[in-house]
Amino acid sequence: MNLEVKSNLAKLLANENITIQHNNVKTASFDVKNRVLTLPIFKEKSGDVYDMLIAHECAHALWTPYEQWQGIDNAELRSYVNVLEDCRIDLLIQAKYPGVVRNYQNGFDILEKQNFFGITGKDINKEFMIIDKINLRSKSLQRMPFIFTPEDNLWLAKVDALKTFDDVLVLAKELLDWQKEQVEQMQKLPDFDSHPLAQSYDLADDEDDFDDYDDEQDGDGNGEGNGSDTKESDDDADEKNDFNNFGDQKADDEKDSNQSGEGQSNNNVDKEESKGEAKKFAKGAGGDGSMKQLKSITDDSFNQKQEELQDKKSRGFRYGKIPTPNLGKDGNLTSWKTFLSDMEKYKVKNLKGYSGTKSYVEYLDREFKKFTKENKKTVMYLVKEFEMKKAATAYKRASTDKTGIIDPLKLPQYQYNEDIFKKLTIIPDGKNHGMMMLLDWSGSMSDVLFNTVKQLINLVEFCRKVNIPFEVYFFTRCII
């Protein structure tokens, strides 16, 4: 895969000369502030997957505001915003560049076969909330066999109507609040723990695990065990009641547990810590009895699976850039006219009072003319080689087409030659050339500077002969 070609593609899609870096990173990302698009080095050889990710990140570069996105600190809301924003920008990039639609289709098919979205073996109509249906509908370009309810269609219409990032924020909050209300209603159902959505999004309380925990930890069998464990403290009783109320354990279960014959643990400290951990797990991430976080599980699965695309054997690249020169008033960048004027003044000042000034100046003129005459053959040889290569390249790229106009000179041949039409040879324009030469004028060049300037003059004369634009700069720490 030609990374330079992919870099040019990204610049074209982004409509600006953004900086493209291919590195050993987990996911593609775009630095909106510094305008740097960082792409992973994939071991996946499919150009469709690569082009799909490039188009997606360029869409973020074009339409996702960096400050607003970074300001979202709520994990649930961030997950919902990410899905809806992806839907919005993917529609925009596909409308702007219809050619990437096929890349999106093929890229999704390749990743879906590798279960990047975590949908293998699942009923997509029963085991996914609306946020994941929206995500898969967008990623698959509406090719998945979803059965949407009238209420779902209302949400889909709102998603398709998104125009700005502010619209995405408003809809994400509205959808998240609505989904929480739906889950709260579902939790009142007697079979909620076995509900497909509760299983897919890990919302169930795992009651059986807590029953087993009490059977193993709280059962006293036939009265065996240490005497100190036969009676619970008030704190233990309160904690146990809280635990049993949340887990919805019944008195019969506890009675069976007490008659199981198993001894109680002798280590009360370990027992309380284990119960505390189980209680915290049962009450969600916060440990306060609140609803577990609602996120897009298909989006999370894709983000985790992206690491599998990464070519971990690659060491990546190290990028650098030319330092920004100081071209202001203190930069001391001097034009060639000013330089020649200053040099003339310097020459007059230092030769003032010298008796051989005139003869010295004449000597310099003679030496320069002699040098240009001697090197004229060298310059013309360079010009000849350049013109030959340019002509060969033009001939190689030339194409001949029939014009559809009969050539009168070939008309007598019509009885035995069908090719009696005029032909047109098309020679595409060659590349535009330009040269920029930088000469080191520092003290360390003193022993080779004269010969270096000779080479520079030859290059300048060559550029003039073939009409190539050029610029020459030199740098020094000396102040003339």
Instruction: Choose the weakest-confidence range: 8-17, 23-32, 231-240.
Output: 231-240
- The mean pLDDT value for 123-136 works out to 94
**pLDDT for 458 beyond 90:** yes
* 215 and 191, same domain (yes or no): no
**Total domains present in the chain:** 3
Q: Is residue 59 part of a domain?
A: yes
Tokens 């995405």 correspond to what residue? Answer: 168
Confidence grade of residue 168 (pLDDT, cut at 50, 70, 90) = very high
* 190 and 210, same domain (yes or no): no
User: Given this model, what pLDDT does residue 262 score?
Assistant: 44
* 150 and 115, same domain (yes or no): yes
Q: Is residue 265 part of a domain?
A: yes
List, for residues 144-166, the tens digit of each pLDDT value: 999 999 999 999 999 999 999 99
Asked whether the beta carbons of 59 and 92 are under 8 A apart, the reply is yes
Q: Is residue 183 part of a domain?
A: yes
Asked whether the beta carbons of 309 and 50 are under 8 A apart, the reply is no
- The mean pLDDT value for 182-211 works out to 79
List, for residues 47-90, the tens digit of each pLDDT value: 888 888 888 988 887 888 878 888 898 999 999 999 999 999 99
Confidence grade of residue 206 (pLDDT, cut at 50, 70, 90) = low
List, for residues 381-407, the tens digit of each pLDDT value: 999 999 898 888 777 777 766 666 777
* 134 and 230, same domain (yes or no): no
User: Given this model, what pLDDT does residue 127 score?
Assistant: 92
- The mean pLDDT value for 255-267 works out to 44
* 17 and 153, same domain (yes or no): yes
- The mean pLDDT value for 434-442 works out to 89
User: Given this model, what pLDDT does residue 428 score?
Assistant: 67
Q: Is residue 246 part of a domain?
A: yes
Tokens 């889909």 correspond to what residue? Answer: 156
Confidence grade of residue 297 (pLDDT, cut at 50, 70, 90) = very high
Phi, psi of 121 (to 5 degrees): 80, 10
What is the residue range of 266's domain? 204-290
Confidence grade of residue 10 (pLDDT, cut at 50, 70, 90) = confident
Mean pLDDT for all residues in the chain: 78
Give the Cα separation of 52 and 107 in Å (integer): 6
User: Given this model, what pLDDT does residue 478 score?
Assistant: 65
* 146 and 283, same domain (yes or no): no
Phi, psi of 39 (to 5 degrees): -115, 140
Confidence grade of residue 9 (pLDDT, cut at 50, 70, 90) = confident
Global pTM reads 0.54
Cα distances (angstroms) measured from residue 122 to each of 117, 119, 127, 152, 307 = 11, 5, 7, 19, 23
User: Given this model, what pLDDT does residue 46 score?
Assistant: 67
* 151 and 58, same domain (yes or no): yes
- The mean pLDDT value for 204-220 works out to 50
**pLDDT for 110 beyond 70:** yes
Q: Which residues contact 55 (CB under 8 A, 6 or more apart)?
A: 13, 93, 97, 100, 103, 104
Q: Is 179 exposed, middle or buried (0-12, 13-18, 19+ CB in 10 A)?
A: middle
* 189 and 257, same domain (yes or no): no
**pLDDT for 258 beyond 50:** no
